Chains A and B, each alone.
Chain A
Amino acid sequence: MHGVKRIRQSAQVLEAKRLREKAKLDDYLSLTQDVLSRKKSRDWSEEALQLTSRLLQVNPEFYTIWNYRRNIFLNGIFPRSSLEEINDLITKDLSSTMTALKAHPKVYWIWNHRRWCLENTPNGPGAPGEADADSWRKTNWDRELFVVEKLLDADPRNFHAWNYRRYVLASMPVPRSAKSELAYTCRKIEANISNFSAWHQRSKVLTSLGESSGSVPSQYLEEEFNLLRNAMYTDPSDQSVWIYHRWLMGAGDDKKFLENEIEAIQELLDEQPDSKWCMESIIHYKRLLLKKHPNEVNTKTLLLDCKNLLEQLEILDPARHQRYQDIGSDLI
């Protein structure tokens, strides 16, 4: 359980609660028994299906009943239904799981059932080659992005929703462009620069644009650094920005880049002399200079700069002092 406040309840209050719940409990247990025994006897009827709906409404985490429901569809109901009827049933389940997700946005089993529904949407209504050969699937898949956007508006860090978003984008019959996804992540970041999930998604989209090289194509870099510059100045204490910046800087092969960014961060540090993240980043990039361009830099000065900053960090961020000490030892 997460985020449930502890309340001290007297014995009387607890007893009253127990009595109130007794009827609910008895109902729940008898419903469960009914459904599980039908499952055992391989009951794939319409009636069984309705009972699973009832049970899952009360307890959407009861994974065995989701399994049973799907088996009822596959073994009992679909074989005696037309493709249109199957699509209707699937569309209904998509609708009811949307309701369930609003109340339980982090329950894996509900998300799983949605995927199953999408993947089992039949081809049609038209025959292959006809204009509407894929309309049912297109409709269901298009709606998914809308569903996921609603859930991400409600909780922009919900990783179930982000994973599902990636799944939908990768699987939709008519794919969306990488550019439109970049724009979506930008909107999320502008709404809250702390949204690491959005920064993470951005890193994936940019990497995909780099295709085989795996690195971000240069035409996107300027926009990224501008975005980061704004974010850094808006909230220098937000770690999302700095973690992302470190990735964008890459392995340090471009000396000019490193030096430009170090200078920019130093300017920010001058304004915010207690900024742990400015110090941490400058140390990291100066280490990269030392590692990748040892013959083109003033080694002695850089080492001294790093040691100086590390000493400051040990005082500023005492919880992590050992790491700063370890880095210092490595520098010698």
Chain B
Amino acid sequence: MTSISSSLQLAIPLHVSYIKALGDNKDDLTYHLTAHLRMNAVYWGLTALCIMGHKEALPREETVEFVMSCWDDEAGAFGAHPDHDAHLHSTLSAIQILLMQNALDRIDIHRVVKFILSLHQPSGVFAGDSFGETDTRFLYCAVSALSLLGQLHLLDSEAKERTVNYIVRCRNFDGGFGSVVGAESHAAQVFVCVAALAILDRLDAVDEETLGWWLCERQLPNGGLNGRPEKLEDVCYSFWVLSAMSILDKIPWIDVDKLIGFILSAQDLEGGGIADRPGDMADVFHTLFGVAGA
């Protein structure tokens, strides 16, 4: 039995084996039911390994070939899994993976950039794919992808202004940001908006004092962070909230030690991996965000 007080360290070897074993689940129904997240999952796993200093645990060639097998030649971008449709989110994950594996030269940059720019809406937000769902998450995916490809300059000053204006319109009375104009502030959307503004060098659009306050109030008595007022703590907010606070240079406004204690107590010290909160099942998503936070 694990007890909360015994988990004082990040159990790196355990988490490395956990991530390594994720691809072995081919008999597991859940594994196949989540194929639509596979590109993202590989990104989460690889990033967590990099942070823990064990990048080699996922073989480079296999990883790169997997990414390339998700290329959707009709759209000129990446889907989540072979034969899945291209999407901005999986495209960002693909770029991030290839960057970490020093394999960006495998991408047809021209086509990918065309795909990304084609999703830019007149309002300034980006759609996720040709079916048109808009969300500030996709705005971040686009800006981040362009930046990682060294192509951010292709957003000319008018396009950049339009993009920033959309983010500003998503700013709420609490200083936070939502997924679309009118939406409630949510820590994940705060991260994507603040990060996009940082990449675009427009952090002047953030009301730092109010947002800093809203962000630091995400910390609950148990040390964990939630994503919105009166919601439960969750390890993944260690990343969304903490990253936003890091960009705004406000990390001292929370109790970092208490947060680390919370993250470590959410580890699965038998099977490896980290869960959304102590006692729950681990998954690769929360493993990355827990590792990044801790």
B276 close to A64 (CB less than 8 A): no
0/1 string, A17-56, CB within 8 A of B gives 1: 0100110110011001000100110000000000000000
Q: Tell me the smallest distance from the CB of A28 to a CB of chain B, in Å.
A: 6
Binds B, one of A92-100, A130-138, A239-247: A239-247
A residues near B80, Cβ cutoff 8 Å: 63-64
B residues near A32, Cβ cutoff 8 Å: 32
B180 within 8 Å of A by Cβ? yes
Residue of B nearest to A37 (CB): B83
B182 close to A166 (CB less than 8 A): yes
A157 close to B231 (CB less than 8 A): yes
B residues near A273, Cβ cutoff 8 Å: none
Residue of B nearest to A61 (CB): B36
Complex Cα–Cα for A240 and B228 (A):
10
B253 close to A322 (CB less than 8 A): yes
B186 within 8 Å of A by Cβ? yes
A5 close to B280 (CB less than 8 A): yes
A residues near B54, Cβ cutoff 8 Å: none
Using A8-B270, A247-B173, A247-B174 as known contacts, say yes or no to A200 and B85 having CB atoms under 8 A apart.
no
Choose among A7, A36, A39, A240 the residue that contacts B230 (Cβ–Cβ < 8 A).
Answer: A240
B residues near A29, Cβ cutoff 8 Å: 32
B255 close to A318 (CB less than 8 A): yes
Complex Cα–Cα for A308 and B234 (A):
34
B216 close to A116 (CB less than 8 A): no
A70 within 8 Å of B by Cβ? yes
A21 close to B254 (CB less than 8 A): no
B185 close to A320 (CB less than 8 A): no
A residues near B27, Cβ cutoff 8 Å: 18, 22, 25
Interface set, chain B 173-196, CB cutoff 8 A to A: 173-174, 178-180, 182-186
A162 close to B183 (CB less than 8 A): yes
A59 within 8 Å of B by Cβ? yes
Q: Tell me the smallest distance from the CB of A7 to a CB of chain B, in Å.
A: 8
A146 within 8 Å of B by Cβ? no
Q: Tell me the smallest distance from the CB of B235 to a CB of chain A, in Å.
A: 10
Residues on B lying within 8 angstroms of A by beta carbon are: 27-29, 32-37, 79-80, 83-85, 87, 129, 131, 133, 172-174, 178-180, 182-186, 212-214, 216-217, 219, 223, 228-231, 234, 250, 252-255, 258, 268, 270, 275-276, 279-283, 285-286
A64 close to B258 (CB less than 8 A): no
Instruction: Contacts A21-B29, A25-B28 known; list 13 others, CB within 8 Å.
Output: A1-B276, A5-B280, A6-B282, A32-B32, A64-B36, A64-B84, A70-B131, A196-B184, A196-B230, A200-B173, A320-B219, A322-B252, A323-B252
A197 within 8 Å of B by Cβ? yes
A residues near B217, Cβ cutoff 8 Å: 239, 320
Interface centre among A28, A40, A62 (most CB of B within 10 A): A62
**Size class of the A contact interface (CB-based, 8 Å):** 35 or more
Complex Cα–Cα for A263 and B168 (A):
34
0/1 string, A69-102, CB within 8 A of B gives 1: 0100000000000000000000000000000000
Residue of B nearest to A119 (CB): B132
Q: Which 10 A-B pairs have the closest CB atoms?
A: A247-B173, A319-B255, A322-B252, A196-B229, A323-B253, A200-B184, A64-B84, A4-B281, A194-B230, A64-B85
A238 within 8 Å of B by Cβ? yes
A238 close to B174 (CB less than 8 A): no
Choose among B29, B173, B212, B223 the residue that contacts A203 (Cβ–Cβ < 8 A).
Answer: B173
Choose among B85, B280, B285 the residue that contacts A6 (Cβ–Cβ < 8 A).
Answer: B280
Choose among A18, A201, A243, A319 the residue that contacts B254 (Cβ–Cβ < 8 A).
Answer: A319
Choose among A6, A22, A70 the residue that contacts B281 (Cβ–Cβ < 8 A).
Answer: A6
Q: Could you pull out 28 A-B pairs where Cβ atoms are within 8 angstroms?
A: A1-B276, A1-B283, A3-B276, A4-B281, A8-B270, A59-B33, A59-B36, A61-B33, A61-B34, A61-B36, A61-B37, A62-B36, A116-B131, A157-B230, A163-B180, A196-B228, A201-B184, A238-B230, A239-B217, A239-B229, A243-B229, A247-B174, A318-B255, A320-B253, A320-B255, A322-B253, A323-B216, A323-B252
B133 close to A112 (CB less than 8 A): yes
B182 close to A204 (CB less than 8 A): yes
Using A70-B131, A159-B179 as known contacts, say yes or no to A28 and B85 having CB atoms under 8 A apart.
no
A108 within 8 Å of B by Cβ? yes
